[in-house]
Structure 1
């Protein structure tokens, strides 16, 4: 497990650093998408989660869910395009799971990717992702998780 400024960033995930989201390819070919610990810290306590509906097509770098906290309301932008195959009912019932476990129970949506290889080509992983987040947090003046 990698970490930057106290924010956990699992090195086996793919990250869209500019959008503060991660994606993981599952064994069934779907892709699980979630917010990073950094995004969850920036937002503050998440109080509402409104995902796109199952069956809806989403485009890369466009919203797959709307997330609301006391400080912020905005889109979670998916790093891969495709069809939403599942939404996280546990997060619908308890949006705070996004803050508590962003890489586990707090995932946002599952997508059947339309172009996995094309969409993930520019994403970062491992030490490259950690370095990119370090630069982003420094530029943003972020104190830490």
Structure 2
């Protein structure tokens, strides 16, 4: 599921937690990520607020969580190699895992499938993104 406006994705896991990461589009815009500073385990982060700060050679900013929840895990692999976010944004390059407070109540504005594709196409066109 994608929050197109904030360029992040979220996936509900079988244990009830949710994994959050940057989209490949966000990675293209940012360039190679060189620093990763997640919120601490146990911290509650609100929907559309920063769960991680990332830095590249041309950008420093927040990755905003698409759902409210308590951080249950940060990515040690990314802490040791922030560029992993760029290399595998939907796999090993995830940012945080959290325990959602109201998953069903907060996912209504997230996009999936062809809706997500169309929304990202429109966003890239509006942003004047010329491709990678």
Report the TM-score, using the length of structure 2 for normalisation. Answer: 0.99
The list of structure 1 runs, each at least 4 consecutive aligned residues, that deviate by more than 6 angstroms after superposition, is: none
Structure 2 CA distance for aligned equivalents of residues 15 and 144 of structure 1: 19
Cα deviation code 1:58-106 (max 9, x no counterpart): 0000000000000000000000101000000000000000000000000
1:42-121 → structure 2 map (5 Å cutoff): 42-121=29-108
- Per the TM alignment, residue 143 of structure 1 is displaced from its structure 2 partner at its CA by 1.1
Q: Which residue of 2 aligns with 1:141?
A: 128
Separation of aligned partners in 1, 2:18 and 2:106: 11
**Shift in Å at residue 43 of structure 1?**
0.2
Partner of 1:30: 17
Task: Supply the distance in 1 between the matched residues of 2:20 and 2:130 (Cα, whole angstroms).
Answer: 25
In structure 1, C-alpha distance between the alignment counterparts of 2:106 and 2:38, rounded to whole Å: 20
Deviation at 1:34, TM superposition (A): 0.1
Q: Distance in 1 between matches of 2:94 and 2:121?
A: 23
User: How many residues get paired?
Assistant: 132
Q: Cα RMSD between the aligned structures? A: 0.4
